[in-house]
Structure 1
């Protein structure tokens, strides 16, 4: 009977797969096309899934990976999405890890060790990481049961978001000859559909497509000079939860304050907030304690709240693809929801200007790249797989560059695989004990002044020997008690002694 669980066939897979769905997601039934896609993967077929935003793409690879022994390799270009999905899986007691730029080398080694010898079910990677020597060295030692390629349209030069590093994904299939590929996207023309399958080396064409029409969504585009007044009317007339998107961080707070002053429960969200604050606000919104979230486009990725009744854009989105994705966060329960764009004539001028700034000249992109080498004092050909703290305003001031066009140039360099930007700012400090328990005990006996500190670490944080634990230097200082600067100094001392790996909180991208 165990074969039903691990390699279900078309006749008897329904109960086991739905048990997984119910156990981890709490759903009784699959959404349209999900079960067919999952079955195709379990039958060992390379599969391309075209599902609209909110169509449940992640379940299409998470369920079959849980139904089989081994590890699912998930390739995605978005660090924020990796982190979000890993946290969501962990909340379901599913072991998952992500490896991305900016991580300490010991973090990467420990994550890969846990994938080889532990019970990790999902390993999230960016396509650039596939080429690193460290990953290639362990690839054949990983029991990979599925390769999931998210945002698969990035592999096609005919797609709207072509990323050359995606072209390298097919190279690892030589080392994993019997492992199927599941490619997922919400955006693909017929030309891109064919290109995705060709570039990923599909054994045969195999496409599952769900209609992108969302009949329960009502789209409204309204010319409006008094946007705040119109937003308030929307909140008053449409009952239920909502999302309000704005272009800049300052406006998120201003509009949130305005709504609260009008007795509409609201909060604001953007990438500049620390992770603990973002998580707290997201949870409050997900559980209905907060009705309206006012946010930049940093909010919504990986979030599957079914009963969002309205999504309002106070500024014109940068692209139709971005708008379709953000508006699609409404009405995922199938009930009526409203997607509203409020604009004034000046917004069209601003959008055109922003569009021009988003596509800098090739000479400027080259200038920014060479300036980076000088800024970090890198010799020609060096710097691969190294991470650096980066302050955009300082960099632009030093080289007399426009911050907006410079950021756009950096994004182009990232898409082409020359570098990777991480906005993982404000993440908590991390600690892992890398020595054996007996060696740590010997150190405590021989250095009694550190004994209370080490004991407090072990009491306060679980899993220090097997993973990187998030710590709070302020909380440790309060419990010891000792000044926070002494806590940081002690952690650095233990790190230098080779007992722990201490990764301090990052204050810069």
Structure 2
């Protein structure tokens, strides 16, 4: 298939006159039937790389993605262009799964989105084996590397697709990867001969600024008075998001906070307000922005220093996605440096992490040999309080256990209502006729709930019982009190999915080789972030070195390091001082040597 036809598809469905960067080369490689790895910066148009060839190839493209919000956004983008796509979400009975694959096949769907966890299902694998798949696209592919900054154990399931579909080309996409992660991509995905296309880390329209200031609050307000349009302020914790948003609101700024603790309708409302520019500033934890296609983000501010260069690069990349000039400011003071240094020395105790695992399992009554694939919703704050530890310590244990592959942690997730029978139909014969009939009806609707929690359609079940949803939930709670079933109501918040059955204590451990490698990679990432804060070299060159790119990259001549002027202009300094500006204000704006500046103070 020719590049001309690919360009024609791009113009017809997206209205673009040409491909950007390495898009055309990646698409040509896929259309030739070859495995491919694409490393494109955030905003570099990764989705085009599988969507254009997916339209041209027969059958459909299977897209693996880690986040529901990311898949929903991609699906909506396709549907807006009248391209049929299917999103596998929620629980599937064998009948529902059969219907889904029939719809994809006979409904001429071109794309199907699926989370990696679903690949655990042997039934799903069987359908994949016989499906007319022409391309397998793996988004956020860095999640497969145990040494990446965002490792997700569920991604280790993805290589089963190579076994099921050995002749179908695989496209692995990510924004950035260190040399070690790049090696992992090819090895773990079983695509050793994949051709790697790696675009430059440098974004010519992105102006990066790293600013030390003892007074973040003052400099943030001064910045906001100059920055134009909508933007994102990233903060490290939920509490700092809320307090900073309140501070901005009290000072007349259009701002709201966004984090995993919000209810789904609150998240949707705030996201929509920001997308439509009714809200200028979103103050968020790091997850915000993934999968959100907003091209007119003009600036990004880091209120707290990110833990990793990968996180920093991903977050600043959300500015200027439409090609316009955009700015990113990282504000830091000595406390940020101290926190990063503490992260190198105060590492989580592995034995305490294993104790945390056992306490978590006991809390949810997960017996040894059970729990595989089951999701358990919980409040990280409440659990930390119950376990008498701080939230950061609890999170460090959770993430260490995830790194080992024991479970998959979701900071923000929507858990749909589910039930699991804890009694047999024989026992229901002793109940009142109406109660026994309702349980029989539920069993017919959800037969697999005899063996594991099954997602239920609350409104449909309530209508069947001629009750309101609230009355039906009370009835389920009544059945639970009688020991007939277990009911899990709809919740939003954090959740953990066990990747394997709970092991016996004697088999629960961290091998020394794993711990050594994990500690090494954690320390390495923290030191790289500290190095960036202290460096005087071009920020893009520092990033390029970390990600193992061309050492001959030229300075960007736009970042705060490239524009640093050691000797400030005496006339400008005295003029600013006469107007009441502080030394910190002048240092922040003129980007000069503070020692030289103090000579005028």
- Regarding TM over 0.5, the answer is yes
Alignment of 1:354-365 (within 5 A): 354=343, 359-365=347-353
C-alpha distance in 2 between matches for 1:298 and 1:117: 33
Q: Give the C-alpha shift of residue 150 in structure 1.
A: 2.1
For 1:302, the equivalent position in structure 2 comes to: 291
Q: Which residue of 2 aligns with 1:10?
A: 3
Identify the match of residue 419 of structure 1 among 407, 426, 445: 407
**Cα offset for 1:165?**
5.0
Alignment pair present for 1:272 and 2:261: yes
Q: Which residue of the other structure, out of 82, 95, 103, is the alignment partner of 1:117?
A: 103
Instruction: Specify the SS of the correspondent of 2:307.
Output: coil
Deviations 1:192-224 (A, max 9, x none): 434422433337341222111012222112222
Greater Cα offset, 326-335 or 119-128: 119-128
1:95 aligns with 2:85: yes
Q: How many angstroms apart in 2 are the aligned matches of 1:347 and 1:180? A: 45
8 Å CA contact 2:21–2:199 kept in 1: the answer is yes
Gaps of 5+ in 2: 419-437, 439-454, 479-486, 496-601
Q: Is 1:379–2:364 an aligned residue pair?
A: no
Cross-structure match for 1:486: 471
Deviations 1:132-183 (A, max 9, x none): 3232232213222211122323444564555565444333322212211001
Does the CA-based 8 Å contact 1:274-1:427 persist in structure 2? no
Kindly report which structure 2 residues correspond to 1:25-64, keeping only aligned pairs within 5 A, or say none.
27-64=16-53
Distance across 2 between alignment mates of 1:483 and 1:198 = 53
* 1:291 Cα deviation after fit: 1.6
Deviates more, 1:150-159 or 1:303-312: 150-159
Provide the C-alpha distance between the structure 2 equivalents of 1:96 and 1:470, rounded to a whole number of angstroms. Answer: 23
Q: Contact between 1:51 and 1:210, CA under 8 Å: does it hold in 2?
A: yes
For the residue of structure 2 that corresponds to 1:140, the secondary structure is: helix
Given that 2:153 and 2:408 are in contact with CA atoms closer than 8 Å, whether structure 1 keeps it comes out as no
Counterpart check, 1:342 vs 2:349: no
Paired residues of 2:13 and 2:81 also in contact (CA < 8 A): no
Corresponding residue of 1:257: 246
Per-residue CA distance 1:210-255 (angstroms, 9 max, x = gap): 1110122221122223322222222221222211111222332333
Following superposition, the deviation at residue 79 of structure 1 comes to 4.7
Give CA-to-partner distance per residue, 1:456-476, whole Å, 9 cap, x none.
xxxxxxxxxxx99897999x9
Matched length: 447
The answer (yes or no) to whether the contact 2:152–2:408 under 8 Å persists in 1 is: no
Instruction: Give CA-to-partner distance per residue, 1:73-97, whole Å, 9 cap, x none.
Output: 2223445534544455455554331
Correspondence for 1:498 = none
Partner of 1:65: 54
CA displacement, residues 8-50 of structure 1 (integer Å, 9 cap, x when unaligned): 323543213431323xxxx443322212212321221111101
Q: Provide the C-alpha distance between the structure 2 equivalents of 1:491 and 1:10, rounded to a whole number of angstroms.
A: 58
SS in 2 for 1:389: strand
Alpha-carbon spacing, 1:19–1:199, altered in 2? closer, same or farther (3 Å): same
Paired with 1:37 and 1:400, the residues of 2 have a C-alpha distance of: 51
Separation in 2, partners of 1:416, 1:78: 20
- In the other structure, the counterpart of 1:461 is none
Match for residue 530 of structure 2?
none
**2: CA distance, partners of 1:13 / 1:213:** 26
Q: CA deviation at 1:388?
A: 2.7
Closer, same or farther: CA 143–30 of 1 in aligned 2, 3 Å: same
CA RMSD, Structure 1 to Structure 2 (Å): 3.7
1:147 counterpart = 2:136: yes
Contact 2:6 2:52 in 1 (8 A): no
Identify if the C-alpha distance between structure 1 residues 159 and 506 changes in structure 2 by more than 3 Å, giving closer, same or farther. Answer: closer
Equivalent position of 1:444 in the other structure = none
DSSP-derived class of the 1:130 partner: helix
Q: 1:184 aligns with which of 156, 173, 198?
A: 173
Instruction: Give the TM-score normalised by the residue count of structure 2.
Output: 0.65
- Spell out the pairing of 1:386-465 with structure 2 (5 A cutoff): 386-425=374-413
